[in-house]
Structure 1
Amino acid sequence: MAAPSRLLVDGAADAALSPLDRGLAYGDGLFETIRFVAGRAALWPRHMQRLRESCARLCLPAPDEALLAREAAAVADGMADAVVRITITRGVGERGYAMPASPQPTRIVAAFAAPVTAPETYRDGLRLRLCQLRLAEQPLLAGIKHLNRLEQVLARAEWDDPSIADGLLLDGAGRVICTTMANLFAVIGGALVTPSLERCGVAGVARAEVLAVREVRVRELALGELPHAQELFLSSSVRGIVPVRSMAETVYVPGPVTRALQSHWRELGFPTEHS
């Protein structure tokens, strides 16, 4: 992702992040990446719901959502298609892991140009590979978008083939969890399925939207089931619904469930989804 077009730290455009900030020192914080189209973020309520729940789990004071909305609108102003990243850290603290008795969170709001996804990717799908890295289990952090993304960084370093768009991640027991930057759905035996994220992985807001509008079985998903799937697609708040064209020797064709959800994304106001 390119440098941000605009960036605010605690509401100020000229402020700098302290080198003693716990977000930098310990990854002590969380973030949201929110797609804005023509100044509107269709999934904003879902992002704020996850932000509230994540702050509660990390024992972080929840930010003022109205203030976040104003700052997000300010940094995205004038951008037809933007991704706004909101980062909340526990703020500056003394050396050591102990939480500050009265934390003063740091708030960073930045806008980036939305990534360009080719129409044929939405039409035909992308190529997926299996990553060797295995996600560690930590139920307390499972589902939330905390600042420690080292697993994803190392997994993404496993390939440099530009024809492969993403990598599939398993947990230590070999269960399918997600990809490096999206959630995964499969149509198996006519039923829409997505992996359980109780042990690890990020519960994306696009995933939550799919769960709200479709009947989905949330369960453990074995890698050996994927070659038998009739459809395979990814969900992401930034890119929407993206079909998987192939993984290893298995080839998939986007089907009616994928197309229906792409249509739903267009109805939400995201113009990059093409049937």
Structure 2
Amino acid sequence: MSMMWVNGVATDVISASDRGFSYGDGIFTTIKVTNGVCHLLPDHLMRLQRGISALAIAQIDFDALLNQLCDVAKMLAQGVIKVVISRGVGQRGYSSVGCDSPTVVVSTSPLPSCYQAWQRDGIALGVSTVALGLNPLTAGIKHLNRLEQVLVKQQIDDNGWTDAVVLDCQACVIETNMANLFWRNGDKVYTPNLDFSGVKGLMRAQVKSALAAWAIEVVEDRFKLSSLTDADEIFITNCLMDVVPVVAIETKSYAIGSLTKRLIAHISHKDHV
């Protein structure tokens, strides 16, 4: 059962003049809930704060949001909470003058049941031909402008893929449509630099922290597709599915590596502590 609140009121109605609807002028985050507890809640709130600051959206009451998320998590027990913050209702045109009352939408949904099987068996990826644009002003932010991802998902659905590797307009690997990418080659782990495109995921940060603690070098740079496809092992990450092995990219197959298994166990342990 899904639930929704707009500015703390149980409703699924927002104004047609809301700038989130008109311009994608806002941010969001998706939170995994297990046993009535939000995973990585301080990180999610910090992500929202960073997004608000980056887009110069008026401040919201984060104490009230924290209390609401904790209350909703207890009601949900297990599933997903999504938080959307838009700049709010505005005048016609791009100007944000006078937009000082953000809209905060909290909604719930079930946690997809496929994630456990994906962690166990891995997934195959296609390679999308939809290129992401470069924009350092919004790179890394989980903003509401997701038309590029919509177009990639259309291609994924048309081809019957589970997910796809996505490149930027300079043919550098960025992410998959729903997750961040990591791969190991030899004793080093590689992940794309996201200063110009893509989303800097919270699980990505968790994985980088774990690898640093294990003294495993992580190389973050701009890589062509061949760097990824020549890897010894590949995995993807996001906050809902944690760490998932990649067992194929197009026609090339990969084994589920020992590092991937170690990370899956590590994150799972943290989730249940």
When normalised by structure 2's length, the TM-score is 0.93
Match for residue 39 of structure 2?
Answer: 42
One-letter code aligned to 1:234: I
1:71-150 matches, cutoff 5 A: 71-117=68-114, 119-150=116-147
Cα distance in 2 between the residues matched to 1:162 and 1:148: 24
Cα distance in 1 between the residues matched to 2:159 and 2:81: 25
SS in 2 for 1:187: strand
One-letter code aligned to 2:255: V
SS in 2 for 1:85: strand
Change (3 A) 1:189 1:108: same
1:167 matched to 2:164: yes
Cα distance in 2 between the residues matched to 1:189 and 1:40: 38
1:7 matched to 2:7: no
Cα distance in 2 between the residues matched to 1:90 and 1:238: 26
Shifted more, 238-247 versus 74-83: the winner is 74-83
Cα distance in 2 between the residues matched to 1:29 and 1:159: 26
1:1-275 matches, cutoff 5 A: 5-14=2-11, 16-117=13-114, 119-160=116-157, 164-215=161-212, 216-269=218-271
**Unaligned ranges ≥5, structure 1:** none
SS in 1 for 2:90: coil
One-letter code aligned to 2:239: S
Q: Deviations over 1:116-154 (max 9, x none)?
A: 125442122101000010000010000001001110111
One-letter code aligned to 2:233: E
Cα distance in 1 between the residues matched to 2:167 and 2:12: 40
CA contact (8 A) 1:127 1:163 kept: no
CA contact (8 A) 1:42 1:268 kept: no
Structure 1 residue 42, shift from structure 2 partner: 2.5
CA contact (8 A) 1:72 1:110 kept: no
Cα distance in 2 between the residues matched to 1:154 and 1:15: 26
Change (3 A) 1:239 1:15: closer
Q: Deviations over 1:197-217 (max 9, x none)?
A: 000001111001111221322
Shifted more, 242-251 versus 71-80: the winner is 71-80
**Unaligned ranges ≥5, structure 2:** 213-217
Structure 1 residue 226, shift from structure 2 partner: 1.9
Change (3 A) 1:173 1:20: same
Q: Deviations over 1:7-62 (max 9, x none)?
A: 11000013620010000001000000010101112311211121111111100123
CA contact (8 A) 2:165 2:175 kept: yes
Cα distance in 2 between the residues matched to 1:55 and 1:142: 14
Cα distance in 1 between the residues matched to 2:252 and 2:77: 37
SS in 2 for 1:268: helix
Number of equivalences:
268
CA contact (8 A) 1:124 1:253 kept: no
State percent identity of aligned pairs: 36
CA contact (8 A) 1:167 1:179 kept: yes
When normalised by structure 1's length, the TM-score is 0.92
Structure 1 residue 102, shift from structure 2 partner: 4.7
Change (3 A) 1:77 1:5: farther
Cα distance in 1 between the residues matched to 2:20 and 2:120: 39
